[in-house]
Structure formats: C-alpha cells, structure tokens
Structure 1
C-alpha cells in the first residue's frame, strides 16, 4: 500500500500543536461525571414510575410515580457500572469496531486513494458545491429515516476528500455529523424520534410536518453556512484550521497523488453502492438496526477483499488495524453509558422528571414551554438515545402539556430540538464520540468549534417552541 493511501484515511488521533493549549481528556471528564452521578444517588431521594407496554414498546405510566427507599451506589457498584455500561452499549461498540475494520480493508485496496484523487480533479473550482450537497444528503437521511450510526461509515471517506480540495478534517467530519444532526433536530418524518414521540403522545404519525419542514430549511441553511464559512477560511489560510498546518501536510500529499480509478476500484465502489441500497431498503422495509447493518458491512468487507485481490493474511491484518485504531472511541462509549447505568440503578432519573413536571404546573404556560424545552435539552445529556429519551419523557410531558395549556405537538417539538442539538455536542452521545474517534478529533476541539452553532440552534429552537405555543401548533 502506498504512503499516500496510508495518509488518505487515518483512523489515528493525529494532533500536532504549535503551542500548548488547554484541553480536557474526555475519559477523565466522563469519570468525573460518573463519580458525581454516584454521589447524587446518596443525596437525592429515589423514586420510580411503573413501566407499561404500549403499542409494542415499553414506556412509563405517567400516573404511577412513587417514592421508594434510596438505593445509593457504593464504590464497587460505581466501578462495576463501567463494564455494565460497555455490555449495554455492546451493539454500538462492536459496530464501530467492525466499521473500523471495514475501512481498514477498503484502504488496503487503494480504492479510497483512487476515488479521492479522481473526485479532487472533478471538483476543481467547484468544491464549494460539495458542502451543501453532502450535508443535504445526510440531513434528509436523518430527517426521513433516522440515519445516525449508519452515517458514521462515511466519515473516513469524506475527510480525505475534504483535505484534497483544500479544506480540513473538521470540515469532512462536520459534513456528515452536522448534516445528520440537522435532520434529527427538525425530524420531518424520523420514525425513531418524532414518529415515536407522536405515537406516545397520541398524535397522528408525522403530523405538524409543515412547520417542521420550514424549520428544516432554516436549520439546514444556518448549519451549511457555518460549515461553509469555516471551510473557506481554512482554504484561504490552512493554519486557521482546527489542526493548523498539520492538515496542510496531508492535503499536499493528497493533491500530489496521481492515482487513477482502475476497473477493480470501480467494481469495489459498485459493491459499496449496492451495499448502501440494500442498507436503506433493509432499514425501511425490515427495520434493520445496528446488528443487521454491521453484518452487511462484514459481508462487504469480504467482497472488497475478493475484488481487490487482497490475501487472507493482509485482509485480517488490515481489518485488525482498522478496528484497533477505534478502541479508544469504543471504550468512551461504554464509559458514557456507565453514567446512565448509575443514575438508573440509583433510581434518580424518574424523580428528576417528576419534580420538574410538578414545578411546571405552578408557572404560566409561556414559562412552562420554555422550561419544558430546557428540561428536554438537559435530560438529553443523561439519555443521549433519541428513542430512549422519547420513551422516558413523552409519557410525562404529553399529559403535562394538556394541564399547562400547551399543545402536545409543541411538547414533541421541544423533544425533537433537544435531541438533534444534543447529538452533536454532548460527550455522553455514543454516535458523536464514535464519529470523533473515527475522525481522530478530540471532543474538546470539536466542542470549542461547534459551540457557536449549538448556541444559534438552541436559540432558534427556543424561538420555535415559543412560536408553536403562541400559534397553538396542533396535529394538522
């Protein structure tokens, strides 16, 4: 494999700095949060809602809350929550490792290098179109079919392409992660978030689509503008990128590569395209999730090895190296899940939900809708799964909205915005941390870069739920 191919898709966190800068180790931060969660179980009273089966899924009975005997976690139980969290997050952890192995083999075939070289030539003087087009693809995928973990496989594909046209690693990563987040934030027809939340709230499936479509356009334009301005700034001055001049070295290598797409490379890309079509069909038709998608990429890995005439030993070696490079990110996902394990075992989440809902009954509807939105944002830090978030909060928030003279559709919109915004900033989110691990970007660097966009989207979400309340946003 050529030296350029090695650099084209690097799974390793490569961060060279010209000056020392303050940063937080994400492992250390999550461990501190884990300790705080354990301490909280000794301070706050425990309580729980009874779980019920409704429409084929498990949710909570909003009228069943009761205080129970406190269940504080000791030192050993807190430590034990880490392997427990890894077991609970095993599907996403192994999915990430399989994706890493897949791209290790794809890289070994030389296809990525050849594709990037070819696309860089075709995009000459037209690279400005790349950002809005790619982000629209992932925004629609997130909004219409809940594309999240599935999008991760494209991160190591678009990073070298971004570098080849003069952008940086952040740009290549953001086109995928921020693009998908746009879709989740407005969720026009996302079955796993807004569809589920509306089902729990007793609303017609995908109702209120017109307002969410307008919000989709607004958030999409703002997100594309944010990423585009950064990309153009880096193109004018590579030292202004997140990695400064370090990305310039990789960019120079990619631009000097003269690798042509061979017939073998084209067959591999055709297999990749067919794999994507099967993936979309499986997700929509048979509700495939991580296990099925992971199996699909294992099959594709074997096909690529055959088409690329890669020996068995080299295939295993490339797969292992690709997986090994993502071990750190996979472990982060398990540790972040441990925080939720501690709060669940300490029976702390349900009392928080109950107390907030009770407090909101004593304020005006206007303040209540603001409080509901902020609470949904806060709870997403603890429970970063969109589906899990909906199943926990919507059984409480929907009837509470009735009591507060807020429409249930507004309550769903509050959840949707909180889900989408939290997905690209909170370190407790497995998909975000996996994407950053693939890209080799530290959470600290990402958070510092994305924060202005988060604040803008948060403000738009706040304005949106207030407008929704004022206009009586209903099921239409």
Structure 2
C-alpha cells in the first residue's frame, strides 16, 4: 500500500463513524419502547374502498379518518400499552428484547418480513451458483477488454433503464439480483460499489417516486383518495425526466471522481472484496466459452421472464424467488456439464449455501426493522396502538397551516412515516384516507396529496435502514448502511429540495 493511500485511510478513520445498522435499529427500538409508556393508544374503524384500475375493479380496506378515538379504560381514562421487556401472552408474545425473532417471523410469504427474508436468501443462493460458474466474472472481463474507453456509457444507459423499471412496474426487490452482477462490473471498470447501487436501486426508486403508472403504489393511493387511477400523468412524466436527469448527472459526476482517485470512496475498503478478485487480470484475455455464454443467456432469459411476469401477471415475491431459483439451478447444471471452474454436482449445493450466507446480514436487518413496527403495536388501524395515535396527531398538525405549507408538510410527513411503514401500498392504505380529506380542508387538490405520498415514500427508500430492499442491495455490495448514509445524505438533500419545489409548483398550478 502506498504512503498516500495509507494517509488517506488513516484520515478517514479519524472522522466520525456512523454506528452499525444493528446499533441504530436497537436505539430506535429503545425510543419506540419509551413511547409505548408515554403515548396513549388509539384506533380507527375501517371501511372498504372500491376504485377502477383500467377495466378492473379493485377493493381496498382502509381506515376511516373520522373514526379515530383514544382507547379508554372503565373509568374513561386514556390508556397506554407499555411493551414488556420480554414477550408475554397478554402482549401477543411481543417484547422489547425479542424484537429480532418476532420481526423475522412476522408477515407472510407475500411481504415483510418472512417473505422478503426468504426472497433475499434464495436470491443470494441462486447467484452464489451463478458466480461459482465464473461466467459473470469472465463475461465482465471480456466486456471490459472489448469496450476500452467506451465503458463509461454504460452508467447513464443502465440508470435510465432501471428508472423506467421503477416508474412502469414498481421495480424494487428486483434490483437485488441485478446488483449482484452490476456492482462487481462497475468496480472492475474502476468505479466503486456506490456507483453500482446508484445505477440499480437508486435509479428504481427515483422512477418509483415519480411514476405516472406504478400499479403497486400510485394506483392504490389514487384509488383510495377517490381520484381517477393513473390521472395526472403529464406532470409526473415531466417530473420523471427531471429527477432521472438529476440522478444520472449526480452519479456520472461521482463516478468520474472515483475513477480518478478510487481512495476517495467511502467504501474503498469494502470494495476490496471485488477489487482483489479482478486484480492482475486486467491484461489477461478472459476465457469465454460456450458454457459461459449459456449461463449469461440463462440470466437474460430470467430477466425477460421476470419482467413479463410482473407486468402481465402481477408476479411478486414468491414467484420472483422461484424464477431466480430456477435460474441458479439451470446455471449450476450448465456449469457441471461444461465443467466451468471444474464444477461438480456438490458445488451447486455448496455455492447455494455460501451465496445465501453472504446475505444473511441483510436479511436480519429486514426482521429487525419489522420489529420496530411490532413494538409500536403493528399497522392494524383497528387495534389500539401508539402508531395510530402518532398517525392521527401528525395528520391534524399538517392541516392547521396555509395550503402551500400544509402540502409541503404532507410531503415531510410521508417522508418520516416511511421509516416506519416502507411498503408503498401499505403506506398508501394507512395515510391516504387521512391525507385525502385533509387536502380538501386545507384547500389543495387530492392529486397534490397523492404526489406528497409518492415523493415522500419513494425518495426516503434510498436512505431509511428499515427498507429491506435497500439493505438487501447494500448486502450484495458488501457496504455498511453507515457508509452508504454518509454518501447518500447529500443526494437526499438535493432530492428533498427539488421535491419541495415540485410540491409548491403543484399547489400553485392547482395540479389535478
């Protein structure tokens, strides 16, 4: 290691170090536990809302915003529901110190946490097999050798494609397997893992936040709010162009900086895992045979199959996990037949195991993050919980100010609430029944209220440690959330300012 590089690394070690993700989540658990001792619990009644999405009638169970009431005891006094230290039968087995277990086993196969945890582990195992064949590594080296001087063009092109994926069909979890290929690729090209995360996950969430047709969040939010589904597309398409342009420009500028001096990356040390794998191979002619080509073709066919399944048939976590498992199995069989990297039949099993093990840390975060919601009582609006009280109180606070400020505070509120409920459709079902009528009261259109939800939900997905998708991608990139947050906070500030401006413009033009 050169003296200059060592000095730069020593300087980095002296700067403030963000605590480990597990430490941050535990601190939030302690705060939420304290709130259960001090904040009275409240509840809503629910109602069925019907709306049209294309030619299909959809039904959604949402809370009734006028029905909120604090839970009282026999004496008519408000009550709290303190979470016990350990789980008790009266509290549904939930306790402050078993939030990890309860978080991991919560939900079902279609969502957080069990579904996403299983999805992450299956994806990790499948790509463990793919990477064992050597097809991706050899393909990367072959691509770099053939695109000398032109490889930079890959960054804006891939960013725009992934942003379109987020806008058109709500691409999110699907970014995890793509990151497994693209993160090593950009590192081998002289960039860092942050660039790989930007052109995959960041791009999808910029598209997600500015989508004009996302069926999983925008359509639900508009339907719940009682406005035509997929309406207001013109303004949102313009917004998508602007924010995607900002994302591309920011990523390209950063990539050029890292290309010039890789040691300026906050993940320079963690990138060594991939960087060392390619070290010394830059001038070696990569062996790329028929077996390697068939493995890469298998990946491509899986991508096409996935997009078709999501767009045409509404595939979600269970189906996606199965698709990528089939991909890994097929790649392993090809590897054995063509003896790629001297693969044997047992190597399929062992590489699946090691691939899944690489993402165990990211999967654990998903369960821990879910534990935060469980400690607050869960997201059921009909149960007496602290979260319901917080939701109602924040909704009332937003409605007491002038229209433009109220609309902006709706955006801020949705951004903060996304820390607790990361699911787009889940957040829409919880918050839009409150925000839509509130928009009528403060004098802004319901379309503006939906826009506040959309922007607040999408952009904060890039930084909240409670996002299973984000933590999955960071796990693939072998980057800690702390390092990512130190870099992302500047981009987050730009997105926040621009989103605030769009909110103000939307109010002024009576966006409908």
- TM-score for both structures, normalised by structure 2: 0.87
Alpha-carbon distance, 1:129 to partner: 1.0
Is 2:52 the partner of 1:49?
no
1:375 matched to 2:393: no
Match of 1:265 among 271, 278, 292: 292
Match in the other structure for 1:98: 122
What is the deviation of 1:380?
Answer: 0.7
CA deviations 1:202-235 (Å, max 9, x no partner) are 1111111111111111111111111111111111
Shift of the 228–419 alpha-carbon distance from structure 1 to 2, 3 Å rule, reads same
Whether the aligned pair in 1 keeps the contact of 2:38 and 2:80 (CA below 8 Å) is no
- Of stretches 89-98 and 180-189 in structure 1, the one that deviates more from structure 2 is 180-189
**Deviation (angstroms), 1:360:** 3.0
Answer yes or no: is the 8 Å Cα contact 2:267–2:483 preserved in 1. no
Once the two structures are TM-superposed, the CA of residue 438 in structure 1 deviates from its matched residue by: 1.2
Aligned positions, number: 459
Residue aligning to 2:368 = 335
Q: Confirm whether residue 75 of structure 1 aligns to residue 90 of structure 2.
A: no
Which of 304, 326, 329 matches 1:299?
326
- Structure number with higher helix proportion: 1
What secondary structure is seen at the aligned counterpart in 2 of 1:216?
Answer: helix
Structure 2 unaligned residues grouped into runs of 5+: 1-7, 51-58, 72-78, 87-94, 107-112, 337-342, 379-383
Preserved contact between residue 267 and residue 479 of structure 2 (Cα < 8 Å) = no
Which of the residues 250, 266, 286 maps onto 2:313? 286
Deviations 1:324-364 (A, max 9, x none): 11111111111011001111257112212212222333321
Shift of 1:257: 4.3
**1:251 CA drift (Å):** 5.1
Whole-angstrom distance in 2 between the partners of 1:256 and 1:239:
22
Relative to structure 1, is the Cα distance of residues 347 and 256 closer, same or farther in structure 2, using a 3 angstrom cutoff?
Answer: farther
Residue 282 (structure 2) aligns with: 255
Task: Find the counterpart in structure 1 of residue 91 from structure 2.
Answer: none
* Distance in 1, Cα, partners of 2:283 & 2:188: 9
Contact 1:123–1:165 (8 Å) recurs in 2: no
The residue aligned with 1:424 is 462
What is the DSSP-based 3-state SS (H/G/I as helix, E as strand, rest coil) of the residue aligned with 1:149? coil
The separation in 2 between residues aligned to 1:160 and 1:370, in whole angstroms, is 39
- Distance in 1 of aligned mates of 2:47 and 2:377: 17
4+ aligned runs moved over 6 Å, structure 1: none
Report which structure shows greater RCO (CA 8 Å, sep ≥6): 1
- CA separation of 1:410/1:92 partners in 2, compared to 1, >3 Å: closer, same or farther? same
Equivalent of 2:449, from 408, 411, 436?
411
Computed over aligned residues only, the root mean square deviation of the Cα atoms, in angstroms, reads 1.7
- TM-score, length basis structure 1: 0.93
In 2, are the aligned partners of 1:394 and 1:412 still within 8 Å (CA)?
Answer: yes
| Structure 1, unpaired ranges of 5+ | 1-15
The one-character-per-residue Cα deviations of 1:102-128 (angstroms, maximum 9, x if unpaired) are: 111001111111110122123311122
Structure 2 counterparts to residues 58-457 of structure 1, below 5 A:
58-68=61-71, 69-76=79-86, 77-88=95-106, 89-244=113-268, 247=272, 249-250=276-277, 252-309=279-336, 310-345=343-378, 347-457=385-495
